[in-house]
Amino acid sequence: MILTSVIDAMEATPLVELSRIRDEIGYDGRILAKLDYLLPGFSKKDRAARYTIEAARASGVLAAGQTVVELTSGNMGTGLAIVCGVLGHPFVAVMSEGNSPERARMMRALGAEVVLVRQASGARAGEVSGADLALVEEAAQTLTRERGAFRADQFRMPANTAAHQTGTAPEIWQQSGGSITAFCDFVGSGGTLGGCARYFAPKGVHCYAVEPDQAQHPIQGGGYSMSELTHLKDVDLAGTETVSGNEARKAARLLARREGVFGGYSAGANLAAAIHLLQTREQGGTIAIVICDSGLKYLSTDLWGTT
């Protein structure tokens, strides 16, 4: 089948059982990994980018040729750069300097204008905090006004949730033969967890938020200590699993070494949380996780620096 554009490839990723990791660690149950790092922008955010822009164009909120602005840790921005490039919209990505430089380089290569925002006082490079995100949000709001742009607000746009409620979750359910008993995901905007939980919870699947164990952490793209997230309002969650940066790092390296799945920090966080769940509350179950983005986006970080 020949696709009309690369946008049509932003779906239908494989689901793989991580049986080699189970054999090495010895937990009771199964972990199924949704390989969204194989999407064109190397992350699950391609789905939300596509849905957001297509919905805005269909409703008339986004006019032909109008500029799109969005804050990003790099993944949503990459997806938007691809979609906007194909559909003829200039795109401006606003990102903290604390994110890995590979992300900015990739977005620029895809035609985006990238505006880097200085980190908050006392912040560490490679660890983007809620205070850093607030500065990025302020810059994004200013640019949206100045450019007369459409704001692809991933923290509030319902298309973010819809992308996973109608795409990611049904794909996992169909590919697993309806066998999963739990799902967990590292929380950034909350769109993936919120959308998947809305699909899975009515089917009796326990859904868990994955969060870092402290405010300063290396897991880029989330863990901003935000008290309220639009996408998680009125969502039936079974609980929260916390992971440390070191646990996420070790799990990502294990995922690459034993399964050949080259994911990033958040993929490691998801795997670490799933292993812990199978050792405790979800023993004997089948847990689905998403490999959120590619390890290629972290080559300059400590994720791979000392392997």
Residues 6+ apart with CB under 8 A from 225: 129, 130, 215
Known catalytic residue at 45: yes
Which residue in 5, 98, 17 sits closest to 46, CA to CA?
Answer: 5
Q: Which long-range contacts (CB under 8 A, 24 or more apart) does 86-93 make?
A: 86/5, 86/6, 86/7, 87/7, 87/53, 87/57, 88/64, 89/53, 89/62, 89/65, 89/150, 90/65, 91/67, 92/67, 92/68, 92/143, 92/147, 92/149
Report yes or no: 197 and 165 within 8 Å, Cβ to Cβ. no
Q: Which long-range contacts (CB under 8 A, 24 or more apart) does 130-136 make?
A: 130/215, 130/224, 130/225, 130/226, 132/96, 132/98, 133/71, 133/96, 133/224, 135/96, 136/71, 136/94, 136/95, 136/96
Residues 6+ apart with CB under 8 A from 239: 206, 208, 209, 281
From 43, 96, 100, 266, the catalytic residue: 266
Known catalytic residue at 43: no
Orientation angle between helical segments 75-87 and 101-109, nearest 10 degrees: 0
From 34, 44, 45, 297, the catalytic residue: 45
Query: H helices of the chain, where?
Result: 19-25, 45-59, 75-87, 101-109, 130-147, 158-163, 169-175, 191-200, 245-259, 265-279, 302-305
Which residues are part of the catalytic machinery?
Answer: 45, 266
